[in-house]
């Protein structure tokens, strides 16, 4: 009996649309993460890896959607293929079964290295762009989550003993952001 064809899609932000990644491919189920690919700590990736069984096939648009560094990519591919799960990369037209040839292993390494290199280039261009914008006086950094009045109110309410977690929820910020505001004068 043939296993299920299970898709995995990933976009980096909530306003991006993952639908186009596996458009037109018949799948039994799709797991979608809206998170960075910088590491493998993604809830739907974890759910996918728990869900698949021997005989199933995981279908991913491209290697960089699964992992952005070579070590993570190889680890995931080896983990699933050892369990009898095939993994297909549509864009690269590569399928890994666990019974792969040395050439397939080389291709995985080379293509994964390109994905990692591409991520490094993107980060480098971003840093360079920010540095140029700062020199021109254009770059202001990220907009503050709270206004000066809201920060003053937040600090006063914390000083009065209100619970920080409930204040973070009320102000629509994370607890880490709340603590950052409390550390600044």
Number of H helices, E strands in the chain: 7, 5
DSSP 8-state assignment for residue 144? P
Residue bearing tokens 């991913």: 60
Distance CA 159, CA 119 (A): 43
Structure tokens of 5? 């064809």
Active site residue 12: yes
Annotated catalytic residue: which of 12, 109, 166, 174?
A: 12
Partners of residue 29 on adjacent β-strands = 6
- The span from the CA of 147 to the CA of 159, in Å, is 18
Q: Are 62 and 56 in contact (CB under 8 A)?
A: no
Known catalytic residues? 12
């Amino acid at each position: 009996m043939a296993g299920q064809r299970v898709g995995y899609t990933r976009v980096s932000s909530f306003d991006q649309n993952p639908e186009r990644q596996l458009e037109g491919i018949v799948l039994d189920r799709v797991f979608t993460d809206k998170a960075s690919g910088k590491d493998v700590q993604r809830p739907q990736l974890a759910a996918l890896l728990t869900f698949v069984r021997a005989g199933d096939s995981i279908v991913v648009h491209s290697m960089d959607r699964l992992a952005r560094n070579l070590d993570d990519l190889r680890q995931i591919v080896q983990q699933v293929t050892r369990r009898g799960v095939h993994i297909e990369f549509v864009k690269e037209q590569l399928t890994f079964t666990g019974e792969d040839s040395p050439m397939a292993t080389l291709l995985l390494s080379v293509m994964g290295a390109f994905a990692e290199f591409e991520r490094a280039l993107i980060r480098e261009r971003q840093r360079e762009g920010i540095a140029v914008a700062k020199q021109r006086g254009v770059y202001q950094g990220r907009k503050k989550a709270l206004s000066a009045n809201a920060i003053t109110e937040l600090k006063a309410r914390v000083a009065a003993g209100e619970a920080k977690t409930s204040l973070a929820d009320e102000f629509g910020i994370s607890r880490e952001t709340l603590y950052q505001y409390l550390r600044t004068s």
